[in-house]
Amino acid sequence: MTLHSPQRPSWLCAACGRSYPCLAALATLAAGDLLTAQVYLAGLFVSAVDDLPAVPVADLYARFLLAVPVRWSERRA
Ligand SMILES: [Zn+2]
């Protein structure tokens, strides 16, 4: 079984071939700690900006950083 994980430098999912993060990866990330997911995706965003210079940064921002919603009620003090 192949995990839904990013392949570099294409940034396609290793399991389903869709753009990473795919829906399955997002579901897995969203099921865990949201802050951890957002930090993970922020790190991927930085790498994706380097790997995909032809893709507008705004598109990558939306793809990686707006993918997992912030739930303010779950923020830790
Ligand atoms: Zn996938």
What's the gap in Å between 63 CA and the centre of ligand 1? 14
Burial string for 35-51 (b: 16+ CB within 10 Å, else e) reads eebbebbeebbeebeee
Asked if the structure places residue 61 within a domain, the reply is: yes
Q: How many domains does the chain have?
A: 1
At 4-40, the pLDDT tens digits run 999 999 999 999 999 999 999 998 988 888 889 989 9
pLDDT of residue 6: 96
Cα(2) to ligand 1 centroid in Å equals: 9
Q: Reply yes or no on whether the pLDDT at 75 is more than 80.
A: no
**42 within a domain of the structure (yes/no):** yes
Q: Is residue 62 part of a domain?
A: yes
Answer whether residue 12 is part of any domain: no
Q: Is residue 29 part of a domain?
A: yes
Write the single-letter amino acid at 49.
V
Does residue 41 sit within a domain?
yes
Domain that holds residue 39: 21-70
Cβ distance 47 to 41 under 8 Å? no
